Chains A and B, each alone.
Chain A
Amino acid sequence: MTQAPLLQVKELSKTFGGIRALEKVSFDVHEGEILGIIGPNGSGKTTIVNGITGFIRLTSGQVLFRGRDIAGKPAHKIADMGVTRTFQIMRPYYSLPAYKNLVIPLFSPRARRTGGWRGGGRLGDRHTVGIDILEEIGFERDSHVPYKATATLPTGYLKRLELARCLALKPEIIICDEVFSGLSMSEIASMVPLIERLQMDGITLIMIEHRLRELFKVASRVMVLNFGRKLMEGPPAEVMADARVKEAYFGSREVREVMDHA
């Protein structure tokens, strides 16, 4: 690639007490690509997301976004720059109906500055925009799903709501922490085109997944983590074939089964 990477992660390290959750992990993300990150449970994937987006304080390392070091900045500033994330354990506003969940990010400084959402700041308009975004991301307007109480929504919708919150900010990058997990095969099948559409809209994606088959379909490159270290990185086919990956990562039976399907 000739262009400078959109996001450069350099020697990221994080220790929790004695546990080394991340050890000198470096990688680049280029504009418009989908980078997959895989690794066994507890290998540090969520820690990377938290580290990049400012939700935890890094022990050491640099995160360059468009050449600017964002490591150590508060989470809301990083999100304000367009580096957004979803939460592995979904964090919607349970006391509000689904569409009002989006009024909040639409009210954020970034959405008001860059959003170009129609209506600007007038009261009531963010509700309409929120419903539009939800419909775009797969909430059926006809069956009134956007109006339902968030607490009553099934996992699939909550995962979409996580993505919708990022979209409301008109993001540059979305870091998806396991948006496929907990979904049925058919639900994932309907999510995949959505992910592809986000990419076509020019949004760069980092996707952390345990569902390898689906990930390998959309990702242009995949990075493998093990015990907080980067094991390897490459195109999906190469990763799948690598002996070290198989040994370290696919030791657990369940994952091997998934692998066999792939």
Chain B
Amino acid sequence: MNQNTPQRRRERIDRGIKVRCQGIYSLMSWREMTYITAPRAALIAGLLALPLVMPGMYWQRVISIVCIYALLAVGFDFLAHFVGLVSLGGAFFVGVGGYLAAILNTAWALPPIATIPAATVIGATLCTLLLLPCLPLRGVYFAIVTLMYPLFLARVIEALDILGGTDGIMGIDGFGGRWTEQYAVIGMLLIVLFAVRRLVNTDIGLVLRGVKDNDQAIRASGMNVTRYKALAVFITAAMGCMSGAFLVHIYMWSGISQFALDFSILPIAATVIGGGGTLAGPVIGCLILVPVSELLRDFGTLRIVFYALILVAFIVFRSEGIMVYAQRKYHQFERWTQV
């Protein structure tokens, strides 16, 4: 900066209404109530309205896929920003959940309303057990192991020609109607999103945040760090397995492409774009990335390159993410001050 011009700095100050909303009395005024609830209401209404405004069946299907990725992205954000575990396990969770739902549906003829919860719980248990050995370790081991499993499982299915081999499992029941499908997956996403937001602010959520901040202090407080990490991994895996189960019922097919790297990478890109640590941000990130990625479908696996470019661009130019930026604009105003 030029030496002669007086130094100026941008100052950010909380809006009056934000400060007023922090007290209990805000519940007695319409303005403040609106201020608090409007963003949430906008998100809910927006998501619920999406299927209605989409031009055709193809784009309605894209919305379902957005929600599936959004479940993964919220899971990633939860684990990375509230527990401190960086997971590349999207593909792992989707694959396990998807195949489980497929097996339950074809072998036992269970309807989607039963296979989805069953695949969620059984799948999350399986994934957590498989990841348990690397939970006491610090560092990148967890990320690496979560990346290895889907590659490994896909090769096993391919080589042993089990579970339909490279053809996959066909003849899986659909949702019996595109509106049911749409609103089932959107509803699920909204429930999960608000449940996770709730969770991170409860006492147990604070313990999880403590695990990220300082696991030694957790141990000194008489709590088993690995157990809390396992709990968090279970929650994330459940979200991933659930999205996998939705996916196979939407496509009525389960195959090794469910172990594809896209399911691990896109949620991370969406979290970076949407704003890590906000939980709603990753959903917005998916709303942008998935449709764009659909438009680029012709490029095949080159899409990974495209995610990478978007990621780099965002990290360089707007590292905070859309949601963090929007929250700041909503809650604070800026002014220039002399230094």
By beta carbon, the residue of chain A nearest B206 is A103
- With an 8 Å Cβ cutoff, the count of chain B residues facing the other chain is 20
The answer to whether A74 touches B221, judged by C-beta atoms less than 8 angstroms apart, is no
Task: State the CA gap A104–B225 with chains docked (Å).
Answer: 12
Which residues of chain B are within 8 angstroms of A211 by Cβ–Cβ distance? none
Which residues of chain B are within 8 angstroms of A55 by Cβ–Cβ distance? 216, 219-220
Give the shortest distance, in Å, between A72 (CB) and chain B (any CB): 15
Task: State the CA gap A111–B213 with chains docked (Å).
Answer: 21
Give the shortest distance, in Å, between A251 (CB) and chain B (any CB): 33
The answer to whether A76 touches B203, judged by C-beta atoms less than 8 angstroms apart, is no
Given contacts A93-B214, A94-B213, contact A85 B220 (CB under 8 A): yes
Task: State the CA gap A106–B206 with chains docked (Å).
Answer: 11
The answer to whether A110 touches B216, judged by C-beta atoms less than 8 angstroms apart, is no
Which residues of chain B are within 8 angstroms of A77 by Cβ–Cβ distance? 222
Which residues 58-109 in A have Cβ within 8 Å of B in the complex? 74-77, 79-80, 84-85, 87, 91-96, 100, 103-109
Which residues of chain A are within 8 angstroms of B222 by Cβ–Cβ distance? 76-77, 79-80, 84, 105, 108-111, 169
Does any Cβ of A come within 8 Å of B217's Cβ? yes
Task: State the CA gap A76–B224 with chains docked (Å).
Answer: 6
Task: State the CA gap A63–B202 with chains docked (Å).
Answer: 37
Does any Cβ of A come within 8 Å of B218's Cβ? yes
Give the shortest distance, in Å, between B14 (CB) and chain A (any CB): 15
Which residues of chain B are within 8 angstroms of A92 by Cβ–Cβ distance? 214, 217
Task: State the CA gap A103–B209 with chains docked (Å).
Answer: 11
Does any Cβ of B come within 8 Å of A123's Cβ? yes
Which residues of chain A are within 8 angstroms of B140 by Cβ–Cβ distance? none
Determine which of B203, B209, B217 lies in contact with A165 in the assembled complex, contact meaning CB atoms within 8 Å: B217
Which residues 118-166 in A have Cβ within 8 Å of B in the complex? 123, 126, 165-166
- With an 8 Å Cβ cutoff, the count of chain A residues facing the other chain is 33
Give the shortest distance, in Å, between A183 (CB) and chain B (any CB): 20
**A32-66 near B? 1/0 per residue, CB < 8 Å:** 00000000000000000000010100000000000
Given contacts A94-B213, A96-B213, contact A53 B220 (CB under 8 A): yes
Does any Cβ of A come within 8 Å of B204's Cβ? yes
Task: State the CA gap A104–B210 with chains docked (Å).
Answer: 7
**B210-238 near A? 1/0 per residue, CB < 8 Å:** 10111011111111110000000000000
Going nearest first, the 9 A-B pairs with the smallest beta carbon separation are A79-B222, A105-B221, A80-B222, A93-B213, A75-B219, A91-B217, A108-B222, A104-B210, A110-B222
Selected A-B contacts with CB under 8 Å, 21 pairs: A55-B216, A55-B219, A75-B220, A76-B225, A79-B221, A91-B217, A92-B217, A93-B209, A93-B210, A94-B213, A95-B209, A95-B212, A96-B209, A104-B203, A104-B206, A104-B221, A108-B222, A109-B222, A111-B222, A126-B203, A169-B221
